[in-house]
Amino acid sequence: METNSKFFEISQNNSGGSFITNDVLCHRLFIEADSYEEAILKAEGLGCYWNGVEGGCDCECCGDRWYQPHREIDLANMVTDKHGGYPVHNFIQKGDSIEKFKEDYKGMEWIDEPVMGEKYGSPIISGSIKLRNIEDYAQVLSNLFGWTEPETRIFYKDGSVKEISSSKYRKDED
C-alpha cells in the first residue's frame, strides 16, 4: 500500500470546450513526488501549464486549463476504516439500480452497502467503500467524471504510469 507515498492531483478544465487528451495528458493526473514543488515540475514536464488565460492560450470565459494541486492527497487517512469508508453516491437516472451502481466499484470492499435514498429532493444511491491505494481513489474519481479516455493517469516516482478509465469505458475485468 502506498500510504507513505505523497501524491498530488493535477486537474484539467475543459477550457474552450475540450480537453487535451494524448499519450501523456488526460482529465486528471496523479503525480507521486517528495514535495509539492517536485510535483509541479513533473506536471510542467508532462505539458501542464498555469495561468493560461493570462498567457492568452486558454478561453477567458472558461478559465485556465490546468489547476495546480491544493495540497498533498491524504491517502493514509482515506485507506483506513476509522471514518466509515470513502463515501460514494450517484443521483439516480432512468434504468439505474443498486446492482448497476455496484458494478462501478467492482472489486472494492463495501463498508456500507449501497441503499436508495434522497438528497436535495432527488433520488440517490449511496454507500461507502474501503480504498486500498491511490489506484482505488483514482478509479472512484474516474467513475464520477469519465470525461476523457483514459480519465486518469498516475505517474509513479519509479517512472511507471498507470491509466485508469471510467467504468463506462472499461472492459469487464475479472
Give the pLDDT confidence of 132-168 residue by residue, as tens digits.
Answer: 899 999 998 898 888 899 999 999 999 999 999 987 6
The CB density around residue 97, as the number of other CB atoms within 10 Å, is 12
Share of the chain above pLDDT 90, in %: 53
User: Do 137 and 63 share a structural domain?
Assistant: yes
For residues 61 and 112, state if they share a domain.
Answer: no
Instruction: Give the mean pLDDT of 51-63.
Output: 93
Average pLDDT, the chain: 87
Please indicate, yes or no, whether residues 26 and 68 belong to a single structural domain of this protein.
yes
C-alpha cell at 37: 514543488
Quick check: 136 and 155 in contact, CB under 8 A? no
Range of the domain at 30: 1-77+132-174
| Closest C-alpha to 87, from 44, 143, 129 | 129
115, 130, 145: which is the final residue of a domain?
130
What pLDDT digit, counting tens, does each position of 71-95 carry?
888 877 776 666 677 888 888 888 8
| Number of structural domains in the chain | 2
On whether both 121 and 145 belong to a single domain, the answer is no
Residue 141 and residue 117 in one domain: no
Phi-psi region of 12 (alpha: psi -120 to 50; beta: other; left: phi over 0): beta
Q: Is the dihedral of CA 48, 51, 56, 62 positive or negative?
A: positive
